[in-house]
Structure 1
Amino acid sequence: MTTLLAVRDLKVQYPGKGFRQPPSEVLHGVSLTIAAGETLGLVGESGSGKTTLGRAVLGLVETSGGSIEFNGQPIQDLSARYRRKLAKDIQVVFQDPYTSLNPALLVSDILSEPLLAQGRSRQDAAASVAGLLDRVGLPKDAGNRYAREFSGGQRQRVAIARALAIAPKLIVCDEAVSALDLVTQARVLDLLIEIQRETKVAYLFISHDLTVVRHISHRVAVMYRGDIVETGTARDVTTSPSNPYTQQLLLAAPVADPAEQTKRRHARIALRTS
């Protein structure tokens, strides 16, 4: 498969918190690739660096070393002008759809905004908006409502529709379902999978939940304290992980059976003390 995104030896530093404190390195030379039409699940606990990596791909944080290539072209040092052009190919769905959607705009305006910015006519944009709403399973009249009038799952569908509006090649999903209940999570994940089958879009799917990542990903990369500690197919990483940290993440995943949950808790304790 053709490599769409290639991150090589990427480093990111944040300024020191106090007077004359040295900068803190958040990513210590991270490398990963995503093929066209593929989903790479990036999983790790809070503070592991996974969101920083996603923001680096989006050009939202400055890198201090390494490279990021998209379609074979370096993108980590693009000017604001060229970064705006790249937005046609790389989009994002954030964790909280309510704060990422303009509350003052109707949903139809939110979805048509990127289309009009590309020079599309209002009539053409309106037709595209209707198609987008249908694609993400929202009623036709949803365009005449504000984001606050929808449930969390419906708002996330609006955010996905906006990301799809200009037919990107890659979507960075940063904890895109973590704020949703389990039933709504499953529906949104199934929607993302269906959209990928139809459009061949690639996903960098960032999550702290290995169970969620397993559901949607072709491959999984596990981050721990700024390093990738394990990569492999979703099946291999989520059923027979080789790294102790990945094993901890797998054992921490919630299960419905109380006896199994107790068994996992004892296994986590045994791992920490071994």
Structure 2
Amino acid sequence: MTNALLDISGLQVTFPGRGLRRRPHQALHGVSLSVSAGETLGLVGESGSGKTTIGRAVLGLVRPSGGRITFDGDDITHVTGARRRALARDIQVVFQDPYSSLNPSLTIGDILGEPLVVQGATRTDAGARIAALLDQVGLPANSVARLPREFSGGQRQRVAIARALAPRPRLIVCDEPVSALDLSTQRRVLDLLVDIQQGTDVAYLFISHDLSVIRHVSHRVAVLHDGDIVESSPAATVTTTPEHPYTRRLLLAAPVADPAAQQRRREERRRLAEQEDMIAT
């Protein structure tokens, strides 16, 4: 995509094998994708498909074995140290588990203030920014003096989102950010992310195993299967009329209340799995 904020070209990631006789495992086989400012690209696939590895490579948490990652035109494939820390201003992350991603011994005010202090904000400026962040994610102003354990799962994820927004990033990697929440809370957090994007023009690389979640927030969708993109199209196309058997199987994975319909879906998934095997061979 021309003038992409994030551009990934031919990305390969190989993990070393464990034990004396284990062979290295290639998690990504040459993935290419891009994300523009203000856009959400959804990455969807089952566990082990490679979607989280892409996010971790963008964040510098895994080292690519091939390919190139550029952000705003700069090559960040192998940057480390001070350059990687500087990138944190522009690239942030929201993890799956909102509790383990927050320091339980710090108040919400300290959690949100930490990235601002690192950037050199004064106490007054940091306090004003924290108040604005809490309002932006729908939390009361008195949250600053409370600890993460005093909040529900959905509220803790709002804190995590506020922390990611604190340095005013241009891209947020959302790694299964609602999978640990109940369905009603998921919807509220997803709506919040959409509202934030409309107000800030931040881009999301949104990672999930759930196509219904991906449909709610994404402009485009890339489907990952065994380290390769098997389908990439506008979200409305991928989530309603997918072309690849694997994508259709993902759609059928969502449970339904009717036992007879559920049985038909299982049989269709089995047929599609056999079709995938035929394509692979």
TM over 0.5: yes
Amino acid at match of 1:131: A
1:34 paired residue number? 35
Cα 1:198–1:256 change in 2 (3 A) is farther
For 1:257 and 1:137, how far apart are their aligned partners in 2?
A: 37
The count of residues paired between Structure 1 and Structure 2 equals 274
2:102 paired residue number? 101
Question: Contact 1:171–1:202 (CA<8 Å) still a contact in 2?
Answer: yes
Structure 1 position 133 matched with structure 2 position 134? yes
Q: What's the offset of the Cα at 1:128?
A: 0.6
SS of the equivalent of 1:104 reads coil
Q: What's the offset of the Cα at 1:271?
A: 1.9
For 1:14 and 1:174, how far apart are their aligned partners in 2?
A: 20
1:178 paired residue number? 179
SS of the equivalent of 1:48 reads coil
Question: Contact 1:49–1:224 (CA<8 Å) still a contact in 2?
Answer: yes
Amino acid at match of 2:67: G
TM-score, length basis structure 1? 0.97
For 1:131 and 1:265, how far apart are their aligned partners in 2?
A: 48
Q: What's the offset of the Cα at 1:198?
A: 0.0
For 1:197 and 1:273, how far apart are their aligned partners in 2?
A: 42
Matches within 5 A, 1:88-237: 88-237=89-238
For 1:240 and 1:46, how far apart are their aligned partners in 2?
A: 23
Amino acid at match of 1:79: T
Question: Contact 1:2–1:36 (CA<8 Å) still a contact in 2?
Answer: no
What are structure 1's unaligned runs of at least 5 residues? Answer: none
Moved more, 245-254 or 39-48: 245-254
1:246 paired residue number? 247
For 1:62 and 1:112, how far apart are their aligned partners in 2?
A: 30
For 1:214 and 1:205, how far apart are their aligned partners in 2?
A: 11
For 2:129 and 2:211, how far apart are their aligned partners in 1?
A: 35
User: CA deviation digits over 1:219-260, x for unaligned, max 9?
Assistant: 000000000110000010011111110010011122344443
Question: Contact 2:8–2:34 (CA<8 Å) still a contact in 1?
Answer: yes
Q: What's the offset of the Cα at 1:17?
A: 1.2
Structure 1 position 85 matched with structure 2 position 86? yes
For 2:60 and 2:257, how far apart are their aligned partners in 1?
A: 40
For 1:40 and 1:108, how far apart are their aligned partners in 2?
A: 31
Q: What's the offset of the Cα at 1:37?
A: 0.5
Q: What's the offset of the Cα at 1:264?
A: 1.6
Moved more, 130-139 or 251-260: 251-260
SS of the equivalent of 1:172 reads strand
1:255 paired residue number? 256
Question: Contact 1:12–1:63 (CA<8 Å) still a contact in 2?
Answer: yes
% identical aligned pairs:
65
SS of the equivalent of 1:91 reads strand
For 1:4 and 1:225, how far apart are their aligned partners in 2?
A: 26
Question: Contact 2:31–2:229 (CA<8 Å) still a contact in 1?
Answer: yes
For 1:260 and 1:21, how far apart are their aligned partners in 2?
A: 43
1:53 paired residue number? 54
What RMSD over aligned residues (CA atoms) do the two structures have, in Å? Answer: 1.1
Q: What's the offset of the Cα at 1:8?
A: 0.3
1:62 paired residue number? 63
TM-score, length basis structure 2? 0.95
User: CA deviation digits over 1:18-69, x for unaligned, max 9?
Assistant: 2143321110000000011000000000001111110000000011000000
Q: What's the offset of the Cα at 1:82?
A: 0.3
Structure 1 position 7 matched with structure 2 position 3? no
Amino acid at match of 1:200: D
Amino acid at match of 1:15: P
For 1:58 and 1:155, how far apart are their aligned partners in 2?
A: 22
For 2:273 and 2:26, how far apart are their aligned partners in 1?
A: 26
What are structure 2's unaligned runs of at least 5 residues? Answer: 276-281
Amino acid at match of 1:255: V
User: CA deviation digits over 1:54-98, x for unaligned, max 9?
Assistant: 000000001100000000110011121100000000000000010
